[in-house]
Amino acid sequence: MPDIQVTSTSPEGFSTSNRIGDWELTIDATGEEGPDPNQVLAADYASCFIPAFRVGADKEGFDDLGTIQVDVAADLDEDDDLESIAFDIHVEESLGDSVDDVVGRAENICHVHAALREELHADMSVNDGANL
């Protein structure tokens, strides 16, 4: 049995309903009835990176980062394929000189980061000590 099972159904058009365990997610290639696949990938990347960032920070001695917000900016090429992704990461806790170490650990932990081709790894900036 596979580790992940998803049932995706599209009775017509470009909208697809995805059943993931008890959850349902609608993805629409046109962006009219739900987020499009590139938007979902960008959100999935950030949603995976945030807990990886928390774990990386914990390993660097930070046990409570407070709120983390990631603003994602993604660019598409002329074929509407993802060309670049950037994260502007806002963290309530001040990380000082440990920022790069935390980011490096998070990159090693995040499964989506590992799954993407290297050219699509997010360019990251971290704003620690943010008032969120």
pTM for this one?
0.85
In the structure encoding, which two tokens stand for residue 3, read together?
């580790």
Domain that holds residue 64: 37-128
> Do 70 and 123 share a domain, yes or no?
yes
pLDDT over threshold 90, residue 44: yes
- Predicted confidence at residue 105, as pLDDT, reads 97
Q: pLDDT tens digit string along 47-84?
A: 999 999 999 999 999 999 999 999 999 999 999 999 99
Name the domain count of the chain. Answer: 2
At 98 the pLDDT is 96
* 69 in the same domain as 18: no
Residues 90 and 80 in one domain: yes
What are the C-alpha distances in Å from 126 to residues 20, 38, 50, 91, 131?
32, 23, 12, 7, 13
pLDDT value of residue 118: 85
Q: How far is CA 81 from the centre of its chain?
A: 17
**Cβ-count burial of 9 within 10 angstroms (0-12 exposed, 13-18 middle, 19+ buried)?**
exposed
Contact predicate 31/99, CB 8 Å: no
63 and 122 both lie in a single domain: yes
